[in-house]
Amino acid sequence: MECPFCNVIVSRVIEENDSALAIMDGFPVNPGHALIIPKLHVSNWFDLNEEQQRDILKLLKVVKSRLDKEFKPDGYNVGFNHGECAGQTVKHFHLHVIPRYKGDVDDPTGGVRFVIPERGNYRNPGHIPRKEE
Ligand code: ZN
């Protein structure tokens, strides 16, 4: 299977710098959900070199101010899934930038501990992860 992030269509790119680019997520958890990815195929954060990590964090600032203007969210969850057991399905690093809006869930306590459970699993909408008995 081809890597979707090695073959990003140019028109999907909303921001870029030397080694990273940003696109809108194809399965947005919330309006404005963006992804920041290295231009070269590297599977995870810890295998990126310092320059690539720096470019990703620089782009995070740029994308955040762009989303602030376009979507006017009240907050953000930012993070990545590392490894299959953590839910990583595409083995090309991607940083999720998820705008949050007052009232998008009834109780946002916990943040990335839950993100938005009923929308987190795009393969099985409505499925809320539970600890197996
Ligand atoms: Zn790739």
Please tell me the distance from the alpha carbon of residue 77 to that of residue 127, in angstroms, as a whole number: 20
Please tell me the distance from the alpha carbon of residue 65 to that of residue 3, in angstroms, as a whole number: 28
**How much distance in Å is there from the Cα of 92 to the middle of ligand 1?**
5
What is the separation of C-alpha 13 from the centre of its chain, rounded to a whole number of angstroms?
A: 14
**How much distance in Å is there from the Cα of 133 to the middle of ligand 1?**
36
The residue-averaged pLDDT of 54-82 equals 97
Q: Which DSSP symbol is given to 71?
A: H
Length of the chain: 133
What domains are there in the chain, each with its CATH number? Answer: 10-120 (3.30.428.10)
Q: What percent of the chain lies above the pLDDT cut of 70?
A: 96
Q: Which pLDDT score is estimated for 122? A: 77
Predicted confidence (pLDDT) per residue in 18-31, tens digit: 999 999 999 999 99
Annotated catalytic residue: which of 41, 82, 92, 94? Answer: 94
Structure tokens of 63?
């994308």
**How much distance in Å is there from the Cα of 1 to the middle of ligand 1?**
11
**Closest to 27 in 3D by CA, of 127, 129, 103, 124:** 124
Predicted confidence (pLDDT) per residue in 69-127, tens digit: 999 999 999 999 999 999 999 999 999 999 999 999 888 887 787 766 777 777 787 77
Determine contact, residues 120/29, Cβ cutoff 8 Å. yes
Residue 133 predicted with pLDDT over 70: no
Q: Which pLDDT score is estimated for 19? A: 97
**Closest to 115 in 3D by CA, of 64, 81, 82, 84:** 81
Active site (annotated) includes residue 94: yes
pTM equals 0.90
Q: Which pLDDT score is estimated for 115? A: 63
Higher pLDDT, 125 or 15: 15
